[in-house]
Structure 1
Amino acid sequence: MTEQPGRLAAYWEHQLDKLDDWEEHKSRRLPGWRDRKHRRALTAVLSAADLVLVGTAAVFTKIDDGLFFGLWGAGIVAGGVAFFLLRILTGRMCGGFSRLLDEREREWRHRVTYIGYQALSYLMVASLIYLVVVSDTADGGFRGALMMSALLVTGTTIPTVVLGWSLPDDDPEDFEEGMGND
């Protein structure tokens, strides 16, 4: 005798179906960019944007406010666009859940998640040390908050950066196997 799934289980299945539909829709975007060359270029832009955020947070009191907010804004916009595009190009491996992951994709996702967790942990320790160092200076709390947010953004982009840089190009034979062409 089987029971009907509860409301929570049905809601969860509905959410997973929506996520799968979104991933399927996203997987058809930017077909000409789905190679290592484009992913690595976006990875370089995202890494540079992360460095701009960290660098401007470090020199906040040494530069003019207009220059700071200009650099900070440019880092956020460039990094956000590169991150968004990389998330499209790396597919479900960067996302949280997906029932459609194969073994290779699942292995990549687990590998980069662990790398990202470790890097984020070290970056948060570095931000705490920075906060302690600047706590007695002028605007120490604000400077620490800027550095913590810059390092947090950097840490959360690391899994996508690692995937964008290291994923090989897709093998065209993989697509032909699923087409029924024997």
Structure 2
Amino acid sequence: MTSTLIDRYQNYRIQRWLVQEQRTAGMLRSWRPLRRRRMLVIGVVIALLGITVAGVMCALDLAAAPVVALIALVLFLPSWTMLRIASGGQDHAPDQMLDELEIAERNKARSAGLAVTQTLTVPPLAYLIFVSAIAPEADAYRTAYAGGLMMLAAILAGGCAPAMILGWTRPDPEPES
């Protein structure tokens, strides 16, 4: 039987996921309980809100916007990385690595993530469109930077939503013997 490009890619994904799982299996054990994962989810949400606030600050021409954006990104990167490790990578695991219940949970979380992305992307798009149409004399750099930050926050929120949902809802992992 010949394997297609998609089959080879799926096999590659499985191998890559297994290597990553081995690499992170012993990491952040104290962050794997539900309560600690929820703290990470809250950290990610606060960071995403910070990026959004920085975009609004930029739209209002407040000088502190880049500082707020930088602080939010510095909070986001470790929180997001830790959440994915503490959650066991369930949000992006290949189907072959999950059981039926885990696949169903992951697919529901991914569906919610798509809805979040679509919903949160509309306000920044509306801002970019209407500011360009209503106030063409507005500072194009500031408008683009503000809209870009707001759009970045929206896309990151949608992309992070599956891991945040699973991190928030999945029960504590079974104790290892």
**Shift of residue 11, structure 1, vs aligned partner:** 6.2
- Structure 1 distance, partners of 2:152, 2:9, is 34
Q: 118-127 vs 151-160, which deviates more?
A: 151-160
Largest Rg, 1 or 2? 1
Query: Are residues 1:170 and 2:173 paired?
Result: yes
Match of 2:71 in 1: 74
Query: Are residues 1:125 and 2:122 paired?
Result: yes
- Structure 2 distance, partners of 1:87, 1:98, is 17
Query: Are residues 1:158 and 2:156 paired?
Result: no
Moved over 3 A (4+): 5-12
- Structure 1 distance, partners of 2:144, 2:16, is 42
Q: 49-58 vs 158-167, which deviates more?
A: 158-167
Query: Are residues 1:90 and 2:90 paired?
Result: no
Match of 1:54 in 2: 52
- Structure 2 distance, partners of 1:155, 1:77, is 19
Q: TM-score, normalized by length of structure 1?
A: 0.81
Q: TM-score, normalized by length of structure 2?
A: 0.83
Judging changes above 3 Å, is the alpha-carbon distance between structure 1 residues 133 and 13 closer, same or farther for their aligned structure 2 residues? Answer: same
Match of 2:107 in 1: 110
Corresponding letter in the other structure for 2:84: R
Query: Are residues 1:141 and 2:144 paired?
Result: yes
Judging changes above 3 Å, is the alpha-carbon distance between structure 1 residues 160 and 6 closer, same or farther for their aligned structure 2 residues? Answer: closer
Would the aligned equivalents of 1:36 and 1:164 in 2 still touch at CA under 8 Å?
Answer: yes
Q: More relative contact order in 1 or in 2 (CA 8 Å, sep 6+)?
A: 2
**Shift of residue 31, structure 1, vs aligned partner:** 1.7
**Shift of residue 119, structure 1, vs aligned partner:** 0.8
**Shift of residue 51, structure 1, vs aligned partner:** 0.5
- Structure 1 distance, partners of 2:23, 2:123, is 39
Q: CA RMSD in A?
A: 2.2
Corresponding letter in the other structure for 2:115: Q
**Shift of residue 68, structure 1, vs aligned partner:** 1.9
- Structure 2 distance, partners of 1:16, 1:145, is 34
Structure 2 unmatched runs, 5+? none
Match of 2:19 in 1: 21
Q: 34-43 vs 127-136, which deviates more?
A: 127-136
Corresponding letter in the other structure for 1:170: P
- Structure 2 distance, partners of 1:142, 1:20, is 39
Where 1:62 maps in the other structure, the secondary structure is coil
Query: Are residues 1:36 and 2:34 paired?
Result: yes
Q: 107-116 vs 15-24, which deviates more?
A: 15-24
Corresponding letter in the other structure for 2:149: L
Would the aligned equivalents of 1:19 and 1:98 in 2 still touch at CA under 8 Å?
Answer: no
Where 1:91 maps in the other structure, the secondary structure is coil
Where 1:99 maps in the other structure, the secondary structure is helix
